[in-house]
Structure 1
């Protein structure tokens, strides 16, 4: 028999602002963010592959996009955040805390949609770090990441961020009339301090690096 945990449920996340070195996370507000997000998601420089594995999009009609954004903003689970670039003030992506189960200390980062201006920059990594930090500060035992098993970009990102691959749920969903096998990843509360320290070192290095010099999150975590 396992030892008694003296477990106390986690707290539910509230729509608070989280500020980092490159971005801040604010609760999604369509009145504030609608024009920016339409441009980064559907504008001329948007990434068409963004929608390949999401259950929604792309949006050819503005009315459909606005309805989707309004529905996201009204939700508390998932709880959506806009990613605001500190340098420009532009909303450049969204992500959420979801599958929130305080009684079991379980929470997930999901519905990640980063515009092209965030991709391959520290901004996306910092957004995940800030939500992970919040998740464990709330008392959660487990942070989850799930994605389509065919989504190689998402699986690489999960491993780069320090998540552990746990397996595949076969025939888990039907998305856009296609089968989805779902890959599951997690970070536990015991693992988070070392992972967080690696994030912090990497983000500090990125913030201070000379032009042309490149650091990697994996290298900083290994130090």
Structure 2
């Protein structure tokens, strides 16, 4: 309400000021015998006065001077009147109040009541405080077909909802383009990929969305998967386009720890379509995201100090790709992934049930990293760029 009154007062003040200035200007122009039509033109379009001869233009300026002088006098008078009125209406015009001691006593009594209330609140024993049940925290509500899955949300209205900023310029090589993954642009192609059966005897569980690891049957499954990913603000998803064919070639994401967003990010959810595996797509995609993450901000990058790469123990193809790109193997991180929604029939080789009866399953991961020292000081940026630019084998990983 206060803001409304202030805005209303400001608007009325501008209106009154404009009216006063225009009336004074009109009166002045009438005094110097300026024609009615010319006066109306000047009042309606003040900028037109610049085209008048110098004598008339000088009279216009004089009229404005008189108008603003009158406005200043009125405002100054109002300010003095307001100050005097406020001064005489103030109940206390010095630094001492007759009820100071009373107010101090009331404040002390209020603090004493708060302390009594705090002491009366039952406290948990130290042993109870140290045995907090971490499983009490409820997971976020699941995404369903009844939610807004943004299937038809226009590009300019779609919120990627990520702590990580979008690139300030397109991520492109001569063969691959990375763009923000937006359902209205990419969901159809992604559903076609996720609904296609595996190529060969390998169930390709890592390619199909977690936790089922199997092909999608309905487009809504793909939309729900994308919305789940979008609701994780530590992830920024990209669509991969093969510029040789113009086709959708897969998706990949950058992920971060929210409290370390400027220091440490990782490559994740890399899902390259089978026909584009062992082609130029993998190397070019990795180079683009490595450059975006590790390049200095002055060069359009995020300026992070560490880019991570994690894969399963059995995914030797991913491990070989990480080494070829210059990532350093840090070792095995035990129980890297923890999940409670994996069915017994899910085609994952690396998940193991925990022995605590909670129904959770864990997966170890092989961890790799590329630091800003590797990238900028040790020449690995140039090494990966050479792989991408290599004419032999179109830079396959």
- Structure 1, unpaired ranges of 5+: 1-10, 219-223
1:157-206 per-residue CA deviation (whole Å, 9 max, x = no partner) reads 21111110111122333453623111111011111132221222222223
Q: What SS does the corresponding residue of 1:79 show, helix, strand or coil?
A: strand
Please state if 1:42 is matched with 2:195. Answer: yes
Task: Assess, with a 3 A threshold, how the Cα gap between structure 1 residues 205 and 36 changes in structure 2: closer, same or farther.
Answer: same
Contact 2:280 2:396 in 1 (8 A): no
1:197 is aligned, of 361, 382, 389, to: 382
Distance in 2 between the 1:156 and 1:80 partners?
24
1:123 is aligned, of 266, 281, 287, to: 281
Task: Assess, with a 3 A threshold, how the Cα gap between structure 1 residues 217 and 91 changes in structure 2: closer, same or farther.
Answer: closer
Distance in 1 between the 2:196 and 2:179 partners?
22
Please state if 1:89 is matched with 2:246. Answer: yes
2:367 is aligned, of 162, 184, 188, to: 184
Distance in 1 between the 2:256 and 2:271 partners?
17
1:88-137 per-residue CA deviation (whole Å, 9 max, x = no partner) reads 32221001010245466111011110001220111111111100100012
Question: Rg: which structure is higher?
Answer: 2
Please state if 1:134 is matched with 2:292. Answer: yes
Distance in 2 between the 1:151 and 1:159 partners?
13
TM-score, with length taken from structure 2: 0.46
Q: Larger strand proportion, structure 1 or 2?
A: 1
Task: Assess, with a 3 A threshold, how the Cα gap between structure 1 residues 65 and 143 changes in structure 2: closer, same or farther.
Answer: same
Please state if 1:144 is matched with 2:144. Answer: no
Aligned residues: 202
- Structure 2, unpaired ranges of 5+: 1-162, 295-300, 344-350, 353-362
Task: Assess, with a 3 A threshold, how the Cα gap between structure 1 residues 146 and 95 changes in structure 2: closer, same or farther.
Answer: same
Contact 2:164 2:234 in 1 (8 A): no
Higher relative contact order (CA 8 A, sep 6+): 1
Contact 2:195 2:217 in 1 (8 A): no
Contact 2:262 2:302 in 1 (8 A): no
Match of 2:335 in 1: 171
**How do residues 13-162 of structure 1 correspond to structure 2 at under 5 angstroms?**
13-14=165-166, 17-43=170-196, 49-52=203-206, 55-56=210-211, 57-62=213-218, 63-73=220-230, 75-100=232-257, 101-102=259-260, 105-136=263-294, 137-162=301-326
Worse overlay, 115-124 or 32-41: 32-41
| Aligned-pair Cα RMSD in Å | 2.7
TM-score, with length taken from structure 1: 0.78
Contact 2:177 2:243 in 1 (8 A): yes
Task: Assess, with a 3 A threshold, how the Cα gap between structure 1 residues 67 and 15 changes in structure 2: closer, same or farther.
Answer: farther
Distance in 2 between the 1:98 and 1:76 partners?
9
Distance in 1 between the 2:333 and 2:387 partners?
32
Task: Assess, with a 3 A threshold, how the Cα gap between structure 1 residues 159 and 35 changes in structure 2: closer, same or farther.
Answer: same
